[in-house]
Structure 1
C-alpha cells in the first residue's frame, strides 16, 4: 500500500528536485487541499509542469491560493523558504500583496495579467529590499470550468534594471562633463545627473577644494543647508572610501523612497598625477539596498569622471597660460589635443588662419571645425598619434568662420597623453599642384589628339579608295545607261556594293574603338560560329600555320553580336600569325566555365556561368613589361605602317560591352593565349536563315511615317515601303514628324533616324509619340549608333534598331515583322 502511495505521489510531484521531494514528504491531508491523490487535474497538471521546469514559477490553488513553487523560485523567496510551501499567497508576500491584489482579482475573473520589471520591496533578507520582476499571472481552472487558482511565471530582473540605471547615470554624467571649462560647469553637470537618479543616492553633496577649504554644495533643493554641517575632518579629508552611519535625529532627504537613508558613502575626488584631491563626494545610500557589494565601485567611477573633468580644466588653464607666453607671435598653428579629440589649447594664429579667436576653440572638439569628409580619417590619425605614431605631413581641411576650407599639413608629437601638433596652411600649394595636374591632363589629351590625327591619314586613305570604287562604278553605270549599253553592269554594281560594305565595316571598327557602336546581340551557337570561320582563318594566316579548332561538347550558347565576334576572332588570328613569322600552330578552343567568387575576381567578372573562347599560338610571346598595355588604344609593337594599335583595344571594348572580359596568358618564347569570356545565354539559339535579298509584297496599305534628315535615305526607305505594299509619309526632322504623330492620321509604324536636327533626337520623338500612341511600333535607323540613346541593347517592347548601311531586304523584313506583330496583337 505504501509503495502504491509513493508511486502516486511521484506522479503528482515528479522529479528529483528539492521542492518535489519536500512536496512528496508533506502531509497534505492536514491542509485544506486534502489528499493529493484526490486533487483535480486542474491542479496536478500545472504542478507537474512547474516542478519539471527550470524557469521561476509558482502557483496558488484554492480560496487562499495555497502556495507551491519550484527550485528556480527559491532564491526569490530568500529566508521565506521553505516555510512558504502550502501557506496562503497573501501571507507569503504580505508586504507586497497590496501591490498585486487588483491583479489577483482580475485573474479570479478569468483574465491573465503581465508586468514588466515591476518594482517590489520584498522582505526576503530580513528587511525591505528593492527588487524588479517581470511576471505573468494566468488563471487555473477546475473540471467545472471555474477559476480555482493561478499560475505565475516570473523572471527576476533586479540586477539588470539597477545595472542599466547605473550605466545610464555614468554615460549621462560623462556627456554632461564633456566640454566643461570651469568648476561651476562641473558642479552643474554633476547635480543635474543626480537630481534625475535619486534611487541609488537619495542625496548627494559635492565638495570642491578651494585653497585650504572645501566648499560643499547640495545637488538637490531638499538638501537645504546640509552643506553647512560640520563634518569631521577625517571624514571630509578621507583618502579612501568610507561608509558612515547617519544621525537618526536629523531629517535626511529621502530621494525616490519613502524612508530616509541610514548610511552615507564618503570618498575623495582624486587629483591627477601628484595633485591633491580635487574634493569630496558624500552620497546618501539607498535604504532598500543594504550591504550592496557594488555601490562602492559605482561611486568610485563617478568620482573618477568628476576628477577627469576637473583635471582637464586645470590642465586647460595651465596650457592656456603657457600658450599665451610661448605661442603669441607664431604664424603657424600650434595646438594641444587630448585623447577625446578636444582642443586643450590653440595658438592665437588660429584666428589669423580661420577667423576664430583661440578662446572660442579651446575646450571644443576638433570635430566642430573639421570638414565632414575628413572627420573619420582624422579621428583614426589622432588614435595613431596617441599611440606614439607621430604624424608627418598629415593633411586635412578645417572650416573658416567665412564658411570655406583651408588645407593644413600637420606634424605631431605625443607626451603625457596629449598630442602636440604643429600645422601649416598648404592651401595655396595644393591649388598650384591641382593646376599643374590639370595642365598635364590637357597635355596628355593633346598627345592623344595628335595620335588620332596621325590615324586619320590612314583612315582617309582607305575611305578615299572605297569612295573611288563606289563613285567610279556608279559613274560607269550612269554613262553606259545613257549610251543604252546595259550589258556587263552587274560587275560594276557588285564592285560598288563591295566597296560600300567595306566602308561600313571600317566605320564599325572605328565605332568599336570609341565604344559607341550599337551591338546586335543574339543567342549564338559559339561552336558553329568558330567552325564556320575555320577555313577563312586558315586562308588568312597562310599555309605555314596550322589551324586547329577544339569545340567543347555541350557548349552553352552566348548572347552576342556574331559579326563582331567573328571580327574579333579574325583579328586575334592575324595577331597570332604575326607572332609566328616562321610558321607554327593556332588553336581555337571553346569551353564552359563556372566562375566562383575567387575565379570571377581574378578575371574582373561577376560570379556565374561563362563561355570561354581561347586563341593560342606557338609564337614569340609577349614581354612581361608590356602585357598590361596591349589593350591600350594605339599601342603596338609592329613597325610604323603595319599596325594602328586599335585591334586589341576594339576587341576589348566589344567584349566588355557584351558583359564579358578578355584575359591574356603569355610567356616569352612559349607563345600566347588570348581568352574571351562571354556570359552564358539560357535559352534556345536561333537557327540560321537563308540569305534572301528579295522583297515580298507583304503589306496591305498600312501607313509608315519615315523621319530622316537625309533625303537620299528617305527616298530609299520610301521606295522599299512602296515595293513591299505599304503607304508612306515623310518628315525631315523630329518636330515635323511629331506634329504628324499628334494628328489623327493613321500611323502603323514609325521609322526614324536617331540623330535628327532641330533639338529632338529619334528616341525623344518616339517616347513623346508613345504618350498618346502607347502601342506605336518603332524602328530606329542609325548610322552614328548612339547606343545610350537607343537603350544600350535594352529597348522597350515594340521598338527595334537597324544600323546604317543596311541590306534592303533586312530593312523590309524588320518592317514586316513589326507591322504584322502589331496587327496580330489587335
Structure 2
C-alpha cells in the first residue's frame, strides 16, 4: 500500500514556492536579496492575484508569473518560471517583441479576442486570449518590465449551447411534420451526433459514420442510393430520392428523401441538411389502388393530396433551413456580445475585490489614527479628508462590482411610482435648472422586486448622463409603465419572458452612433472628455439590472436623443416599508472574537479595531487554521471571517463546522465582493450576516453587537426547548431566575401587576418567537403570535390586546412602523421593542413611559419587567 501511495503524482509547484527556490543569480536579475523594493512589491501583487498574470522583467525579459498563469503555460510549467520570453514562447516571439517594446516605451495596450497559435501540452493549438499589457517602473522611476494579464476563453461552450438550442428548435419543427433530420459533411459523409437518424434506425454513431448509414437501407435500394447521393454531392445540387429503410423496430419503411447543400458567404459548401419523410402509407395506398380498381378514383385523390402536402413541404425546406441558420447566427452574435461583457465583468470583479481589501486597510488605520490625534483640529481635518477619499474609492469599487454582477443585493418590494416621486428634488438638484423634467406614470402600476439603493443610483446616473448629453439644456422625460416581454422578445434578448415594470429615461441630447451603442455598457468606456466621467455609470446600471433578473434596452439616434428602458421584475407582494438606520452611539464588548482573514494588513487592522472596542481577539490566516482554533477548546463567542479564503476549506463550511462544535457561536461574514457560496440569485442566503468591505469602525461595532445579541437570544430559546446540554451558556437564559442580562428590566424596580392580559408577540425568528411565547404563557399572559408585521395587522384590527412586543428588524414592514399602526387603533397601548442593538431609531429612552426597549438577549425577568412597566403606564393614563 505504501508503495502505491508513493506513485501518486506530486501536487503542482506553486509560483510563490518557485520564487523562493529558483537560483536567480543565474539570471539577469541577479540574487534576490539585491532586488529593488519596487520589484518585490510588484511581485507580491502579482502572486496574490487570482487572475493569470506574468511579469516580463529586465533586458532579456525574464518571466515571473502567478498560479493562475500555470493553466496558460501548460506543460511548460515549472520550467518557464524564471525563463526568458523568447525561450519559453519562440513561436510567438515576434508578437511579444513588439508589445514588450511598446510597453518599455511607456504605453499600455489591450487586445481582446486575440487569436494565437501556441505550442503547449505537446502540440500546436489555436487559442483566443484577452491580453492587457502594463508598463512597470523600477525604483529609479524608469520602466523595468511589462506586466501582462491574460484571460483565456478558447472554449465557448455557451456559444455551442445557443447553437444547439437553435438546432433543437429546427429538429422539433421537422419532427412535427413526421420527418427525421440529418446532416452530412461537405464530402457527403455522415459524422458527429445524429440523434434523428439514430432514433430512426437504431444505428450507433460507430455504425452510421461515413457511409455506414447505407447498411440501414434495403439491400435492393442501397447501391442506387449511394450512386445517386454521390452524383448530387459532386454537382452540389439538391438531392431527391426514395428508398426503403430498416427502422429501429426491425420493420422496413419507405422514405422520401430531400437534402440541400448549405453554402457559406464565401461560396464554399459547408454541409448538407436533409430529411427522411415516411411515405410508407402513401406507397401502400398506391398498391391497394392497383389491386382494388373499384376505389381507384378515391385513392387517386388521396394520393394527390398526400403528394401535394409532400411537395409543399419540400418546396419550403430550403426556406426553413435558411431561417434556422439565420437564427443560429443571430444567437451566436448575441452570445459573443454577452460573453465579452461577462469576461470584462469577471476581471473588474476581481479588481474590485483587491481594491476593497486595500481600502479596508487604509480606512481602518485612518479611523484608528483619528482617535490618536483627537484635539488636533488640523490633523483631524486631514484624516477626515482622507476618509472621504476612501469613501469615493469604495463607491468606485461598488460600481465595478455592480457591472460584474458580484454585489450582494438587498432587494425589497418597491412601489416605483412613489419611489421616483420621492427622488424629484434630488434629480432636479443634480441636473440643474436648464433641464426641463417631465414624469409620465401609467395607471395601475405594479410593484417591483429591486434593491432601492441600487435603483436610486441607476436613475441618478441615467439623469446625469442625459444632462451631459444635452449640455445642461433640454428636456428629460421619466416614464413608468407596466410591460410584458413575450417569448419571442425574450429569446432574442436573453431575458425571461413575463411581467415587468418599465422605467424609461429619455433626453433630447446629441444621441449615439451604432458603434457607440455597441460598447456603451463596457466599463470605463466613455465619450466624455478626459476627467469628465469614469465610464462606469451605464456599466453599473447594466450589471445591477441583469443581476436583479431584469433587462436593459437602449435606443438612440445621432442628433435625436436617447431613450434607455429598464425592465424591472414585477412583484405581487405588498410594498416593504423602509427601516430607519440607527445613528445612536456605538458600543463594544468583552466577548471573544475569532478573526479569519488571509490578507495580513486587513487582518491586522480588523484585530486592532476590535481590540480598541474592548473585545478579546483571536486570529487565523485561513479557514483550516480557524477550525483548529475552534477545536482547541478555547471559548469563542463570535466568528468574523472573510468569504474569499485560500485552501480547500471554504468560509461557509468553516462556519457550519464551527457552529456544530459551538452551537451558540455568532457568525459574521465580510468580503470585498460576493461569492456564490453565500449569495444566490444576487441575494444573501437566509440567516447569513454580511459586512461589506470597506467597513467603518462604527459599522463593525454595530454589526458585531447585532449578530451576537440575536444569536444569544436564539441560543437561550434552544436551551429552553432542548435543555442546557445542547447549547453552551449564553447571557439571558429563558428561566424564571434572574438573568443577569442587559435587558431594560435588569435591576429595575418592577411595579406589581394590576392583572394579567393579552400580549401581541411579533418576531420573525421562529425559535425566538416560540421561546418568548412560552415565557409569556408561564408568566400567565394570553399570547397572540405573528411572524411578520403584515400578519400582525389583522390581529390589531380584530383582537383585543394589552401590549405589543415586537422585534424591530422584521421582513417587510418594520417593528416601528407596526407600532405606529397599533397606536392608530389603540392610542394608549404599551409597546415593547425587542432588538439586538441597545438603540431604536426614533425612540428616546424615558420620553414615553408606554414605550420601552428590551435588549436581546433577554430572560424571563427582563421580559416581565418590560411588560409590567408599559402596562402600568398604560393603565395610569387610561
Structure 1 and Structure 2 fold alike (TM over 0.5): no
Alignment TM-score, normalising by the size of structure 1: 0.42
Higher relative contact order (CA 8 A, sep 6+): 2
| Higher alpha-carbon Rg | 1
TM-score computed with the length of structure 2 as normaliser: 0.40
